[in-house]
Amino acid sequence: MVLLSLSLSSIVLLAQTQADEEEVVKSLLQAGKKAIIVDNIGFTEDESKGFWPVYDEFQQIKQKLKTKGRSRSSGITWGVMTP
C-alpha cells in the first residue's frame, strides 16, 4: 500500500512538473513573440499603450478558441460518424 501511494505521488509530481514546464515554455514563446514585434515595429510610447492591451486580449481569445477546439476534437473517432 505504501509503495502504491509513493508511486502515485511521483506520477502526480511528474505531471505537475510537466505542466509547469509547459507553462514556462508558453511564457517564453509569448515573450519572444512580443520581442519580435517590438524589434520590428518600433512603437512610440503612445502606440505601445494602445497596442499591447489589444494584443494581449487577442492572444487570450485565441488561446480559449484553441482549447475549445481541442476539447471538441478530442471526442472525435475518425472514420466513425456518430450523432
Task: Give this prediction's pTM.
Answer: 0.58
Q: From 59, 6, 9, select the one nearest 34 (Cα to Cα).
A: 59
pLDDT, tens digit, 9 for 90 and up, residues 21-65 = 888 888 899 999 999 999 999 999 999 999 999 999 999 999 899
- The CB-side HSE value for 76 (13 A sphere, CA atoms) comes to 8
Q: In whole angstroms, what is the distance from residue 25 CA to residue 35 CA?
A: 15
Query: Which parts of the chain are beta strand (E)?
Result: none
Integer CA distances (angstroms), 19 to 5, 15, 58, 74, in order: 21, 6, 23, 19
